[in-house]
Structure 1
Amino acid sequence: MNIENISQYIRSVELQRDRISNFSEYPFCLSAVNNLFKLKFHPNVTFIVGENGTGKSTILEAIATVYGFNPEGGTKNFTFSTKDTHSDLHNYIKLTKGIKKPQDGFFLRAESFYNLATNIDELDKDGQGRKIIDFYGGCSLHEQSHGESFLALFLNKFKGKGIYILDEPEAALSPTRQMAMLARLHDLVKEGSQFIIATHSPIIISYPNSIIYEIKDGFNQVQYEQTEHYQVMRDFLNNTSKMLDILMD
């Protein structure tokens, strides 16, 4: 199957390797970056999975930054910066875009979502007219649990025909809420949206109309049941007592 479609919002990302002088320096030493050549994205949903520290978040951050999003998250209209910690990888990647422009978009970083919520409250306190929080459900994201605020984002802010780049969206979601997120993701896909998601969740990566890239000495396109996340969770649930005995021996 040819996963690339000229009408999708982001078709591929390519590392401009000839411009990099030293692959032993950060962020080029990260496994995901070191092994990045050209990665094609699914028109609907692309998952990137792998162990902590491989560089998934660094790549998503670079993609989002090149596309015009704030490195700390939000829409293209957010410009807040609490701490300049993003890498300069965005200076070394090339995005190939499709012929259509999205009508909506968002970059979700689980680790900096608190800062995004704070910025919204500050802008609404100083602004006039319709409040920004109205687009997120009307209730301050700080006045909800972490999981409720994440779900409010998916249900209220994401409008369809958009590009949504999500870094570990499961961080604040219970398994039940992750399934609710899957249902919302499917609705948005049917409304012409594209997702690029880095995740550890075996629930979220079960979405069928997608491709999964697993980082293991490079990017490997795998089926759901082939992912380490699925296999580890399956084995643990099917052999809980035995696994606990091994872990606690």
Structure 2
Amino acid sequence: MDFDQPPVVRVTAEPDRLDDLAADDWPMTIPAVAQLVRDGLDLPKGVTFLVGENGSGKSTLVEAVAVAYGLSPEGGTTQGRHTTRATESPLHAALRLQRGLAAGRWGFFLRAETMHGWYTYLEQNPRGPGAPADSRFHEMSHGESFLDVLRTRFDSPGFYCLDEPEAALSFSSTLGLIAVLDRVVGEGGQVLCATHSPVLAAMPGATILEVGDWGLRRTTWEELELVQHWRRYLDDPRRYLRHVLD
């Protein structure tokens, strides 16, 4: 029996939990979501990137898996249950996660759009006596606060969900994030990340799933539409800008 398994081995949908997910309503109208519900999704060890256009469903999938794991839909750990306004889809309630044998239960959801609320939650719910105080995230720049979260929260083997973490990061800081994810994986952690960043998606050894009208398909960094567009744009920006500005 293989005891060296990641925190989440496979994601499937339970048929008897699909009552709130009509086939002709969002999010089931998203091809990637429909494919997950129909076929399930295997999550390998290491890092898995979901890459695709806005509206392709990558963030919806990461959110649903994170919440099904026990993480707050607005970010944070399995121990924090803050919320401001519930906007998550009902997909998480239909999902069943096959947990890895002997894998830890620690997890963290880094969601770029809601981290401000999580910082406020930490201020209002400080750590107990003897625990190190949290950083004053609201007094930092957006990027600095993200980097401090990576330093202080990505420090245990577990399941890490990230939704477009590059939104606050410079080029060099994105490279630093790759180093953090590599350390997390080396310590036995597992990562599921939605991203628009060709820099982040180039992480060696990562699994890349391209998300689009076709649903989910495994691909390579070189074959990503995202990478091909960026290459052509950087080679000649006018090729794209003339269609936007004319």
TM-score in terms of structure 2 length = 0.90
C-alpha deviation, 1:53, in angstroms: 1.1
CA contact (8 A) 1:10 1:96 kept: yes
> In structure 1, which of residues 30, 54, 60 is the aligned counterpart of residue 56 of structure 2?
54
Query: How do residues 1-249 of structure 1 correspond to structure 2 at under 5 angstroms?
Result: 7-16=5-14, 20=18, 22-36=22-36, 37-102=39-104, 104-124=106-126, 128-130=128-130, 134=133, 138-216=134-212, 217-249=214-246
Higher deviation after alignment, 85-94 or 97-106: 97-106
Structure number with greater CO (CA < 8 Å, separation at least 6) is: 2
Name the Cα RMSD after superposition: 2.1
Tell me how far apart the structure 2 counterparts of residues 189 and 246 of structure 1 sit (CA, whole Å): 42
Tell me how far apart the structure 1 counterparts of residues 70 and 149 of structure 2 sit (CA, whole Å): 20
C-alpha deviation, 1:43, in angstroms: 0.1
Tell me how far apart the structure 2 counterparts of residues 150 and 191 of structure 1 sit (CA, whole Å): 21
SS in 1 for 2:228: helix
SS in 2 for 1:226: coil
Tell me how far apart the structure 1 counterparts of residues 239 and 138 of structure 2 sit (CA, whole Å): 41
Q: Relative to 1, partners in 2 of residues 1:131 and 1:52: Cα closer, same or farther, differing over 3 Å?
A: same
Tell me how far apart the structure 2 counterparts of residues 44 and 52 of structure 1 sit (CA, whole Å): 25
Deviations 1:205-242 (A, max 9, x none): 10111111111211110000111111111111112243
Tell me how far apart the structure 1 counterparts of residues 202 and 192 of structure 2 sit (CA, whole Å): 14
The runs of 5 or more residues in structure 1 that have no matched partner are none
Q: Relative to 1, partners in 2 of residues 1:66 and 1:242: Cα closer, same or farther, differing over 3 Å?
A: closer
Deviations 1:142-201 (A, max 9, x none): 010111111111112211312111111111111111111111111221111110001111
Tell me how far apart the structure 2 counterparts of residues 167 and 76 of structure 1 sit (CA, whole Å): 16
Tell me how far apart the structure 2 counterparts of residues 231 and 73 of structure 1 sit (CA, whole Å): 32
The runs of 5 or more residues in structure 2 that have no matched partner are none
Percent identity over the alignment is 37
**How many residue pairs end up in the alignment?**
240
TM-score in terms of structure 1 length = 0.89
SS in 2 for 1:160: coil
Tell me how far apart the structure 2 counterparts of residues 128 and 93 of structure 1 sit (CA, whole Å): 34
SS in 2 for 1:196: strand
Tell me how far apart the structure 2 counterparts of residues 129 and 19 of structure 1 sit (CA, whole Å): 42
Tell me how far apart the structure 2 counterparts of residues 240 and 153 of structure 1 sit (CA, whole Å): 35
SS in 2 for 1:80: coil
